[in-house]
Structure 1
Amino acid sequence: MQENNKNRKTKVAFAFCMASFFMLLFLSSAFFLTSKRHIPNTEKDQYTTALRGNIITKDNFTISTSRQVYRAEIDLRSMNPEKFELFLKLFEIYSGADKAQMQDIKKRLKSKKKNYNFILIQNLDSKHASYLKELSKKLYVQGFFKAFTNSNGKVETRGLNVVEHKEDRIYMSLDSLTPTIGYTRVVLDEQNNILKNIGVKGLEKYYDECLMPLQDEKIQGLKDIGGNIILNLDSVEKKRIDGCDLYINISLKLQKTIEKLIDRRNLDLKANEIVVGVMESKSGKILALASTRRYNPANRGEDLSVLNASAIEYSYEAGSVIKPFIFTTALRLDKLKPDEIINTHGGKYKLGRYTITDTHKSDKMSIEEVITYSSNIGMIEIAKRLSNLEIISGLKIFRFGEKSGIDLPYEQKGELPNPNRLREIEKAVLSYGYGLKTTFIQLLAAYNVFNNNGYYTPPRIGDKIYQNGRFIMLNEENAKQERILSASGAKKMQEILIAVIEKGTGKKVLTQGLTIGGKTGTARIAERQGYTSNRYNASFFGFANDKNNAYTIGVLVRNPTKPYSYYAAQSALPIFKDVVDILLSQDLLKLDINATVQ
């Protein structure tokens, strides 16, 4: 009995000791788990910055795009000294670094001024960046990196880190489509410490808000032994949303062909600049907008003036290409009769102290012949019938003195004289294109009215944008056609401009099987001291149509210096003909075989 009691006490004592031991073990474990410990951080953030959108041509060439540029860095406190030489050899292989770059790395490592966060190499492309990321994971597992205590008292292992350094904007077509496409400049995104691009000129500026990236990708969560983030319900994930892709109406094939044409022509003309625009008459779509003053957006050089788009930023006195609009105003206000004959004074007319002389001298002309033979004297007689307010209001109807609505920044409005201060001599010279300033794109859009049944259509370069998995058509939202001339008025002016080609100053453009019309213009360039005697702008604006297609085409030759090339018939007109031939060669126009046979 006594022996049994002793055994029972022994068992109870043993059970008590074991319970006390496990309780002590539990409390120690709880204290250890809840106390501040020096263990490596198990959380990780991973960011991928969104990119600026692409600009894509009508024929699906990406002419402007962005890429991520990376840098590789390492916290030297994490580096295992015994494996450092091997690390450098592996880094050289995976990064694609050349000998000079590796020598620079070793030289900087020996410097006493180096920081713990040591930049190994910058300007890595995405391919070599991905190679180094894979290398980092392998080296992490193999124990190349050691843990250290940071300034916050936490233990961490950083190792080799590959981070995005900047966004690089690339222009694959080099100088083609400039200055229309524009360019960007680099700014620091302070939130992510990354160099990003913002639009400064051209399409890059006008569509900057759309092209800008919307949201960076972010993944946050616990990491596994290989340093990879474990995706679970507790991890945080944000989707990357790049900027929109901008699709434009311009075909790169057509654009480059016209650029080569005007470059070749300018070897002979030696002009300051040649500008050519091709517009689809019904829709207002700009199919080409070319200039001989081009630049590489990635290497712009020192000539800042070449960065400006002359088609919209250069305003000038246009000369005789203004005549159709004064003429149309007189017709619209019934100041001209269809069968009327205009006194042209034998081709000479005294205007103040100047004598105006017509190239095609005649005592009298029909109203159509005044335009066909570009009679300055005939236009002066027509302008006399209009009041100052009527003549200026007539020009405003065609949007002179205001922006055309093209989707490019910094468009100039041009200048119209104040009708209350317009003297008779000023009204006279206004009738043949002096005393007002306009831009190339204003004239192109205004001439388009004659080839679009009397409707004014704002010219458009952008066609559509692609974002969030869908296309948005820009022309449907922005191109608002407005009738500014009756259909009969547009038809009448179209017939007169066709007569210019068939009988008058534009005969060189005649192409059997197409309907072609237009008007030449030659104007002295005004400077502070007055009009120059040897500097001119020559231009031709008109249209070329077949049975199914209609295009409005403009050519401006700024200050051609070849002898006698300042006449539009010798400079702008042949280029217009070349552009029509290009449209035929690229099947944008087709000859009417029946018309050719006649």
Structure 2
Amino acid sequence: MSSKLNENDNKIKKIVILFFFILFLIIILIVSVYFTINKDRNLPSLEISKKELSVRGEIISADNFKITTSKKIYKASIDSRYLDKNKKELFIKLFSIYSNIPYKKVEEKVNESFSNPGYLVLSYNIDSKTAKNLNELGFKLRKLGVFKARKVDGGRVLRGLSIVESGEKRIYSYEDTLTPVVGYIRKYESENGKTKVKGIKGLERKFDDLLNNSKDGVLSGNRDVLSYISFNKDSTIKKRVDGANLVLNIPLKLQKNNESILDRYKQKLGAEEIIVSVMDSKTGEILSLASSNRFNPERIFQKDIPSLNVNAIEYQYEPGSVIKPVAIALVLDKNRVKKDELFFAHNTKGKPNQKGEYPKGRYKLDRFSIKDDHRFKKHYLTLDDIFIFSSNIGTLQLAQRLSGPEFFEGMKRFGFTRKTGIDLPYEKVGVMPKVWQFSANDKEKEDNVFKATVSYGQGMTSTFMQVMKAYSIFNNGGKSVTPKIVSHIEVDNEKFKKDILEGERIIKESTANEIKRMLVKTVEKGTGRAAQVEGLEIGGKTGTAQIARGGKYLKKYISSFFGFVNDGNNTYTIGVTVVDPISTGQYWYYHYAAWSAVPVFKEIVNNLVKLNYLTPKKDIISEK
């Protein structure tokens, strides 16, 4: 009996010992798991969020070429403390091959980092394709053991090659094309540390808010066992929205052809700059706005600084004789000229030359003596003579028939001293005498110096685009239009376009048609003869003015030709301004518009024909 009790006691003891042993093992396992979870494993949070960086909008030509666009750039980095020293050479070689960064440049950075181990950025400017390749390289490097795990806070951590979005880069696909109109940008660091850009000049500046009106994409949710986002009703999905796109009225091919013409003539004429614009006379759509002075927005050098401004709207100068049609139009619109009226040429002093031409006329005005450049075979001039042969004396006599307020308000109505409304920033307005200066001597019915000089484009300043807008009035039945470079704006694939409003009436249609007739006659018989192209209706006016600085006239000139070309269906206003062409030596005559601006005008017209913007008609033949 007692032996059986002892046997039972032994069994119970063994069971108790086994129980406590198993319990001990369980406690050790629990403790081990606890410390593994909290220290060694460093398990990530259950929640995960990823951002997709949005970029600035694009600028697109009328023929659907991307003039400028933004691309995401990526940052490649490592922590040199995790890089195996024995496999450093292998890493440098592979990274150089995959990134297209020179071996020596990578080697220099890595070696420098080894002297002070830690976080190392190998490049901030990795494109998306290279970033994808480098991500694949990172996986291979881990398999090859190029990076080693290190103990951090009691746990083991492995950090390899890191490729993350770092911002955006502005790309100008056609380099200097359409500059300075397209403008340029400046980089800055956003609040989240990403590289962003903002517009400084040109279209980039004017539409900066729209181009940068973007939203990053967001994906967030719970992490699954493979560290991917597990999507459910609690997940967040926000689509990436890039900035608005600007679609221009300017076709790339037309613009590049025009720029090529200007480059050639700048060299031939020895000019400081040549500016050209082509505008639809009825809608104001700018088909081309070109300068011979351009720059690459991605690489701006010290020499490019004078070319950064859009001189078509920012350079103010005395326009010269191209203003005469405006002054004459104001007089005609007030019915101050009688039919078949004759005007004294003030050329009776002296004898005619062998051609029967009288000396150039001279008109005494206050303490000034105004003269004409053209010799006439008669003493009295018709309105057509004054217009076609650009008589200063005839034009100033016409201008005196307007009161000071009539002249002043008329010039303002044509757009002088006012912005044209073109969609570019920093537009200048020019200067003109005050209304009271034009009004002096009104009561005495005496000549006014300010009306006289402004009537032939001196004593005032304007911009190239102001003259363009004024001339479009003559080719649009007396109504003005607003110059427009941007056709429409695209926001998240939705198109937004302003309605084309009917232009403001500036002069009567009959007045516009009369000026237009005389502009055509000027091309047929006057200083614009070299602009003729058979089968097209072409009219225009030359103007040559001295450049004034510091209150003095320099021996430098600005030569212009503004006019229009029509084929029966299309109507274009075209302006050409040549700044400081050769005015001395063998080619001294290049400073006259007939030898500089007019030939450029004709080439622009021929270019429009070549690219099918104009179709010459057989029944429209210019008079030779």
The CA distance in 1 between the partners of 2:215 and 2:221, in whole Å, is 19
Contact map agreement 2:532 2:622 (CA 8 A) in 1:
no
- Cα 1:467–1:597 shift into 2, 3 Å: closer
Give 2:535's aligned residue: 513
The CA distance in 2 between the partners of 1:228 and 1:135, in whole Å, is 20
The CA distance in 2 between the partners of 1:238 and 1:224, in whole Å, is 20
The CA distance in 2 between the partners of 1:471 and 1:175, in whole Å, is 28
TM-score normalised according to structure 2 size: 0.85
1:80 CA displacement: 6.2
- Cα 1:431–1:121 shift into 2, 3 Å: closer
Give 1:170's aligned residue: 171
The CA distance in 2 between the partners of 1:536 and 1:92, in whole Å, is 56
Contact map agreement 1:416 1:436 (CA 8 A) in 2:
yes
Q: Map 1:12-51 onto structure 2 (within 5 A).
A: 32=34, 36-43=38-45, 44-51=48-55
User: Are 1:350 and 2:354 matched, yes or no?
Assistant: no
User: Are 1:401 and 2:417 matched, yes or no?
Assistant: yes
Q: Deviations over 1:569-589 (max 9, x none)?
A: 111111111111111111111
Amino acid in structure 2 at the alignment position of 1:576:
F
1:496 CA displacement: 1.6
User: Are 1:53 and 2:57 matched, yes or no?
Assistant: yes
Give 1:567's aligned residue: 592
Q: Map 1:524-563 onto structure 2 (within 5 A).
A: 524-532=546-554, 534-561=555-582, 562-563=587-588
Contact map agreement 1:51 1:213 (CA 8 A) in 2:
no
Amino acid in structure 2 at the alignment position of 1:293:
N
Q: Deviations over 1:536-576 (max 9, x none)?
A: 11111100000110000001011112402121111111111
Secondary structure at 1:438 match in 2: coil
- Cα 1:468–1:149 shift into 2, 3 Å: farther
The CA distance in 2 between the partners of 1:30 and 1:226, in whole Å, is 24
Contact map agreement 1:45 1:219 (CA 8 A) in 2:
yes
Q: Deviations over 1:16-61 (max 9, x none)?
A: x89x979x98x96999499855433434443332111111111222
User: Are 1:127 and 2:148 matched, yes or no?
Assistant: no
Secondary structure at 1:408 match in 2: coil
Amino acid in structure 1 at the alignment position of 2:134:
L
Q: Which runs of 5+ in 1 are unaligned?
A: none
1:71 CA displacement: 2.1
Q: How many matched pairs?
A: 588
Give 2:401's aligned residue: 385
Contact map agreement 1:40 1:157 (CA 8 A) in 2:
no
The CA distance in 2 between the partners of 1:96 and 1:512, in whole Å, is 56
Q: Deviations over 1:178-227 (max 9, x none)?
A: 111111111111x2212211101111111111111511223344556765
The CA distance in 2 between the partners of 1:141 and 1:482, in whole Å, is 73
- Cα 1:90–1:294 shift into 2, 3 Å: closer
- Pick which of 80-89 and 267-276 moved more: 80-89
Contact map agreement 2:242 2:492 (CA 8 A) in 1:
no
Q: Map 1:125-524 onto structure 2 (within 5 A).
A: 125-137=127-139, 157-189=158-190, 191-223=191-223, 228-303=228-303, 304-346=305-347, 347-358=361-372, 359-361=374-376, 362-422=378-438, 423=440, 424-473=448-497, 475-476=498-499, 481-524=503-546
Amino acid in structure 2 at the alignment position of 1:107:
N
Contact map agreement 1:331 1:337 (CA 8 A) in 2:
no
- Cα 1:104–1:234 shift into 2, 3 Å: farther
Contact map agreement 1:76 1:117 (CA 8 A) in 2:
yes
Secondary structure at 1:315 match in 2: coil
TM-score normalised according to structure 1 size: 0.89
- Cα 1:559–1:61 shift into 2, 3 Å: same
Contact map agreement 1:398 1:446 (CA 8 A) in 2:
yes
1:369 CA displacement: 2.5
The CA distance in 2 between the partners of 1:41 and 1:219, in whole Å, is 21
The CA distance in 1 between the partners of 2:43 and 2:385, in whole Å, is 88
Give 1:577's aligned residue: 602
- Pick which of 416-425 and 284-293 moved more: 416-425
- Cα 1:101–1:443 shift into 2, 3 Å: same
Secondary structure at 2:200 match in 1: strand
Q: Deviations over 1:69-91 (max 9, x none)?
A: 22211234555677666555544
The CA distance in 1 between the partners of 2:622 and 2:205, in whole Å, is 50
The CA distance in 1 between the partners of 2:145 and 2:395, in whole Å, is 90
Q: Which runs of 5+ in 2 are unaligned?
A: 348-360, 441-447
- Cα 1:234–1:386 shift into 2, 3 Å: same
- Cα 1:221–1:434 shift into 2, 3 Å: same
The CA distance in 2 between the partners of 1:521 and 1:267, in whole Å, is 21
Contact map agreement 1:458 1:480 (CA 8 A) in 2:
no
Q: Deviations over 1:440-473 (max 9, x none)?
A: 0010011001111222111011111222121222
The CA distance in 2 between the partners of 1:487 and 1:447, in whole Å, is 14
- Pick which of 521-530 and 397-406 moved more: 521-530
- Pick which of 79-88 and 350-359 moved more: 79-88
The CA distance in 1 between the partners of 2:462 and 2:589, in whole Å, is 24
Q: In percent, how many aligned pairs have the same letter?
A: 40
The CA distance in 2 between the partners of 1:96 and 1:581, in whole Å, is 46
Amino acid in structure 2 at the alignment position of 1:456:
S
- Cα 1:89–1:419 shift into 2, 3 Å: closer
Give 2:352's aligned residue: none
- Cα 1:101–1:499 shift into 2, 3 Å: same
1:269 CA displacement: 1.2
- Cα 1:337–1:84 shift into 2, 3 Å: same
Amino acid in structure 2 at the alignment position of 1:476:
D
Contact map agreement 1:94 1:128 (CA 8 A) in 2:
yes
Q: Deviations over 1:379-417 (max 9, x none)?
A: 111111111111111101111101000011111011121
Contact map agreement 2:54 2:240 (CA 8 A) in 1:
yes
Q: Deviations over 1:504-560 (max 9, x none)?
A: 22222222211111111111111214222x211111110000011000000101111
Secondary structure at 1:565 match in 2: helix
User: Are 1:100 and 2:104 matched, yes or no?
Assistant: yes
Secondary structure at 2:409 match in 1: helix
Give 1:72's aligned residue: 76
- Cα 1:511–1:90 shift into 2, 3 Å: closer
Amino acid in structure 2 at the alignment position of 1:363:
H
- Cα 1:158–1:482 shift into 2, 3 Å: farther
- Cα 1:319–1:222 shift into 2, 3 Å: same
- Cα 1:403–1:339 shift into 2, 3 Å: same
